[in-house]
Amino acid sequence: MKKEDNNKRFPLYYQVKHFEDARTYVMCQNQAMKALGFTEHGLAHVGIVGERSRYILETLGDDDHTVDLALTAAYLHDIGNIVNRSEHSQSGALMAFHLLNDLNVPAPDIAQIICAIGNHDEGNGVPVSRISAALILADKSDVRRSRVQQENKNQFDIHDRVNFSATDSEMKINKDHSGIKLKLHIDTRYGEIGEYFEIFMDRMLLCKRAANYLGLKFHLIINETSLM
C-alpha cells in the first residue's frame, strides 16, 4: 500500500509519528533503557509493535479508526521509560495524554489510547479493550536478536541471552480466526528454552488473557514444539 494511502487511513498515527516531541521521547527513553542494560525499546521496537497490532486488528475485521488508535498507542507505549522503568506504563499513559491533548485529539480517542498504554505491562496490565489486547500481544511477542543492545557477549544477562538466541519470530492468526500463535526459533547455543520461560512466563500468560479477550486461543511454539 502506498504511503499516502496509509496517511489517509491512519491520520492520527502519522501525525504523532511526525510530531517531534513524541519522537524525542521515544528515542530518549531507549537511550535510558540502554544505559540501564535493557534490550531495545526504540523506533524499531515501536514499529514492530505497531505493525503487529495492525495485523491483529485488521485480520479480525476492526475498522481503520480502531487500527489508527492502536498504531498510535504502539508508537507511544514505552515513553514512560524516560521517567523510570518501574510503572512505566502508567507514567507513559500520562505523558501520552499531554502529547495528544496538545494535538487537540478528541477525548474519546485519547481515552482509548492511554487506556491501552496504561495496561500493556505484565506487572499490572489487563486487556480491557481490543486495542489494549492487540498491544499486549504485539509488544510481548517482539523477541529478536537485534533487540540486544549489549555488545559484549560476556556481559549478556538473561534477557540478552534469550533475545540473542531468538533467530526467528512470527505471530500468526489462523484462517478461521480461532487461534493466534507465536512461533519462535531459539538457537540453544546462546540461550536455553527454560530461560525464556523464566523471564517471559508472566508475559505469555498476559498474552493468553489478551488473546482470550479477542476470542482467540494463544499458542506458543518454540523450535516446532507447542508449549502453550
Per-residue pLDDT of the chain (228 residues; tens, 9 = 90+): 455 567 789 999 999 999 999 999 999 999 999 999 899 999 999 999 999 999 999 999 999 999 999 999 999 999 999 999 999 999 999 999 999 999 999 999 999 999 999 999 988 899 999 999 999 999 999 999 888 988 888 888 888 888 888 888 999 999 999 999 999 998 887 777 888 888 888 999 999 999 999 999 999 999 988 887
Mapping DSSP onto H, E and C, the string for 99-121 reads: HHHHCCCCHHHHHHHHHHHHCCC
Q: How many CB atoms lie within 10 A of CB 28?
A: 14
Measured between alpha carbons, how far is 135 from 54 in angstroms, rounded to an integer? 9
Task: Determine the pLDDT at residue 193.
Answer: 82
Task: Determine the pLDDT at residue 2.
Answer: 54
- State the pTM of this model: 0.93
Measured between alpha carbons, how far is 166 from 143 in angstroms, rounded to an integer? 6
Q: How many CB atoms lie within 10 A of CB 11?
A: 14
Query: Which residues form the domain of 52?
Result: 3-226
CATH, residue 128: 1.10.3210.10
Measured between alpha carbons, how far is 65 from 12 in angstroms, rounded to an integer? 9
DSSP per-residue letters across 20-48: HHHHHHHHHHHHHHHHTTPPP-SHHHHHH
CB-CB contact of 129 with 112 (8 Å): yes
Task: Determine the pLDDT at residue 3.
Answer: 56
Task: Determine the pLDDT at residue 150.
Answer: 86
Task: Determine the pLDDT at residue 47.
Answer: 97
Say how many domains are in the chain: 1
